[in-house]
Amino acid sequence: MRVIVFGPMTPHAFSLRQLQYAVAVAELRGFRAAAERCHVSQPSLSAQVARLEAVLGVRLFERDRRHVLVTPAGEELLAYARRVLAEADALVAAAGRAGDPLAGTLRIGVIPTISAYLLPDVVPALRRSFPRLVVLWDEEKTGALLQAVREGRLEAALLALVPGMENLEREVVAEDPFLLAGRPEHPLVRSRRPAKLSELEGEKLLLLEDGHCLRDQALAICSAGGAQEAGFRATSLPTLVQMVAGGAGLTLLPSLSVEVEGRRGELGLRRFEAPAPSRTLVLAWRDQCPRGAALRKVAEVLRGARGEHRRVPAGRGGPARPASR
């Protein structure tokens, strides 16, 4: 049997508190604001940051009386500092949750094209299932949420599955099919038959602005069907629906959104034939997250709380109506 012998551990010459101070300065771009956030005097914070720089042998900040800039070397080192602090927070949280992993506070991000339509059902369901758990929801676009999860600022994110998530643990919450949406009298919407992607050939569809993963998914469907993007780009799904209801053209709506967005204006909706284009909704977290087991239980509740959100076309020329239950 091979025995591995570890030598004495060398103590680090900096503290977690110094890392916290430096990260606060970087995020707030100022020593005074950082001192206020950390509840310490500005001279004390400045002195601790200076000691950290001396220990590391690297200038983290360029500063004068009016500006504070993070140096290129500082950007790299502060990324490590954020991860160290996130792991330290995880250590404390894990100790506090030793008796109950589904107690305390859980920070979960969610994309805007899910939050307004799923959270009204999810929030009370989680409260009933885990009365000692407090979930703090943070609404942001996909890129920002994935970065926050990887850096440990969020435990998990509820979003649509996109490329680049291979290194994250995840649980599927739902499949969310797309529907073709437009004015009820539009020829492509009023048909009773399921739509074929080929029917989109030459059509111009209204889409969301850059940064929404829903835009990328809709673009892929447009490409497969030979459709093109219209000149207008909406900042949100409600804006998109208002434009379509006003006769500006066609769009693709996730089924999850239709029960809410169908109330904002008269819409005609048409299903796609199987296999219908859809997005996969997942709860994703870092593979080393100490609350992975608890997050899998949260995902179970999310799946059960989703309920029935799909709406179907009422028929030729008819507005959207709830699906039968």
Say what percent of the chain tops pLDDT 70: 86
Helix (H, G, I), strand (E, B), or coil: what is residue 77? helix
Question: Where, residue-wise, is CATH 3.40.190.10 in the chain?
Answer: 101-173+280-305, 177-278+310-322
Please give the Cα distance from 130 to 135 (Å, whole number): 10
Peptide bond into 72 cis (omega under 30): no
CATH ID of 16-94, from 1.10.10.10, 1.50.40.10, 3.30.70.250, 3.30.300.130: 1.10.10.10
Give the CA angle between residues 154, 156, 161 to the nearest 5°.
130
With contact defined as beta carbons under 8 Å apart, do 232 and 205 qualify? no
End-to-end CA distance of the chain: 64
pLDDT (tens digit, 9 = 90+) per residue, 216-239? Answer: 777 777 777 767 777 677 778 888
Q: Is the pLDDT of residue 34 over 70?
A: yes
pLDDT (tens digit, 9 = 90+) per residue, 90-124? Answer: 888 777 666 677 888 899 999 998 998 999 999 99
**Domain 177-278+310-322 architecture:** 3-Layer(aba) Sandwich (3.40)
**In terms of pTM, does the model score above 0.85?**
no
Output phi, psi for 319, to 5 deg: -75, 170
Helix (H, G, I), strand (E, B), or coil: what is residue 311? strand
Please give the Cα distance from 221 to 24 (Å, whole number): 43
pLDDT (tens digit, 9 = 90+) per residue, 254-305? Answer: 999 888 887 765 788 889 888 888 989 999 999 888 889 899 999 999 998 8
- pLDDT at site 197: 83
- pLDDT at site 199: 83
pLDDT (tens digit, 9 = 90+) per residue, 7-18? Answer: 556 678 899 999
Q: Is the pLDDT of residue 318 over 60?
A: no
Mean pLDDT of 237-252: 82
- pLDDT at site 321: 42
Burial of 9-32, coded b for 16+ CB within 10 Å and e otherwise, reads eeeeebeeebbbbbbbbbebebbe
- pLDDT at site 307: 55
- 101-173+280-305 folds as D-Maltodextrin-Binding Protein; domain 2 (3.40.190)
- pLDDT at site 78: 95
pLDDT (tens digit, 9 = 90+) per residue, 168-181? Answer: 999 999 999 988 88
pLDDT (tens digit, 9 = 90+) per residue, 158-210? Answer: 999 988 888 899 999 999 998 888 888 888 888 889 988 888 887 778 787 76
- pLDDT at site 300: 94
* Tokens read off for 183: 């004015």
Q: Is the pLDDT of residue 314 over 80?
A: no
For residue 144, what pLDDT band results from cuts at 50, 70 and 90?
very high
Please give the Cα distance from 188 to 181 (Å, whole number): 9
Question: Where, residue-wise, is CATH 1.10.10.10 in the chain?
Answer: 16-94
Helix (H, G, I), strand (E, B), or coil: what is residue 76? helix
By DSSP bridging, strand 320-322 and strand 228-234 are: unpaired
